[in-house]
Amino acid sequence: MSEPKSTKWPWTYFEISEFENPWIVKKSNKRTLIDREIRCAVLDNEIGEKCDWKTTDSKRQASTSKMIDHLRKQHSIDSPDKPEEPKRAEYSIFPDPNSIGSTILLMWIPLKQSNF
């Protein structure tokens, strides 16, 4: 099975071994004789061993989402091509005392004479 280019990046973090196991590709309904075990090859720094997470082609059915989720959640590894998060504007519930809107608001408050 070939991997789409958009999800090619996670494959460098996995070791692949083939084994005989007939299975059906759900998308095409084709029978395949060879399955692949896809095992995470990231070294766990705490215990000095490779990670023990694995999947197979027959389980993942051409999807790399669980592989990518594993890399992100367990190893904090993400796509090198992932766009940066957009910068969010910072808002404050307190107006800037130097802005004209704040000056008008502060002038309006004392002029308002209503009972609360």
The confidence score (pLDDT) of residue 7 equals: 78
HSE value, Cβ hemisphere, 13 Å, CA-based, for 4: 7
Buried b (16+ CB within 10 A) or exposed e, 14-45: beeeeeeeebeeeeeeeeeeebbbbbbeeeee
Report d(CA 106, CA 80) in Å as an integer.
Answer: 49
Confirm whether 18 is domain-assigned: yes
Residue 66 within a domain? yes
Domain count, the chain: 1
Cβ(39)–Cβ(15) below 8 Å = yes
Tell me if 107 is assigned to some domain. Answer: no
pLDDT for position 112: 57
- Backbone φ, ψ for residue 102 (5° rounding): -70, -40
pLDDT tens, per residue, the chain with 116 residues? 554 446 789 999 999 999 999 999 998 999 999 999 999 999 977 788 889 999 999 999 989 999 999 999 999 999 887 766 655 555 555 556 666 555 555 555 555 566 65
| Residue 79 pLDDT | 87
Give residue 36's domain range: 5-75
Instruction: For residue 37, tell me if it sits in a domain.
Output: yes
